Amino acid sequence: MRKIVYGVHQSLDGFIEGPNGEFDWPRMGPELSAFSLEQCGRAGSLVYGRRVWEFMAAYWPQAESISDHPHDLAFVPIWRRTPKVVISRTLAEADHGARVVGGGDLAREVTALKDQPGGDLLLNGGAEAAAALTALGLVDEYQIFVHPVVLGGGKPVFSATERLKLRLVESRTFDGTSVLLRYHRAG
């Protein structure tokens, strides 16, 4: 069975967006970029909530004309070739060959995806999608990338949820600035 891995970048004070929705603060140094590209390159599917999907679908198809950042240019072919899944209660379909789930029985739809052969399902960002999957017990691993910035408010990494017991399985520093905290569900 494939795992769902929730990867999220957060500030030191626990936010994934600043007070005005800004996401201009994570820094992709060479080590973090290499880790991210390798992980995305072996993912069976890239999974997004609707809001993150709208950003991704607007940016990545034309990224080469927008950015000359080495990470972006290396990620473009990965994004294009990797199957994509959008978790949404409101979208009926999505561009770029993405499959939409969540309009019906989310637990059944996502469990069916996990039962398919292939690499893990990599959920990038998307606090609401992550909260919904967490509440259903479907997230197998949490990868929290902590960046050295204090935002002073914004959207928290975890929205209101029941207590969640996690077990730290790895911590790792990237580029001397950010830290990966990798957790599995405890018991």
Q: What is the pLDDT of residues 6-55, one digit of tens each?
A: 999 999 999 999 999 999 999 999 999 999 999 999 999 999 999 999 99
Confidence at residue 163, expressed as pLDDT on a 0 to 100 scale: 83
* Banded model confidence at residue 186, pLDDT cuts 50, 70, 90: confident
Domain definitions of the chain by residue range:
4-185
Residue-level pLDDT at 83 = 97
The stretch 137-161 carries a mean pLDDT of 92
Residue 78 scores a pLDDT above 70 = yes
The neighbouring-strand residues paired with 106 are none
- Residue 117, both tokens: 């052969």
Give me the pLDDT at residue 187, please. 67
What pLDDT is recorded for position 39? 96
**Cα 128–Cα 28–Cα 156 angle in degrees, nearest 5:** 25
pLDDT at 161: 67
pLDDT tens sequence across 79-137: 999 999 999 999 989 999 899 998 889 999 999 999 999 999 999 978 899 999 999 99
CA angle 179, 64, 154 (to 5 degrees): 40
**Which residue, among 131, 142, 141, 84, has the nearest Cα to 106 in the 3D structure?**
131
Fold entry, domain 4-185: Dihydrofolate Reductase, subunit A (3.40.430)
Q: What is the DSSP letter of 61?
A: G
Write out pLDDT tens, residues 6-16: 999 999 999 99
Query: Cα–Cα distance between 85 and 72 in angstroms, integer?
Result: 20
- Token look-up 């929730």 returns 6
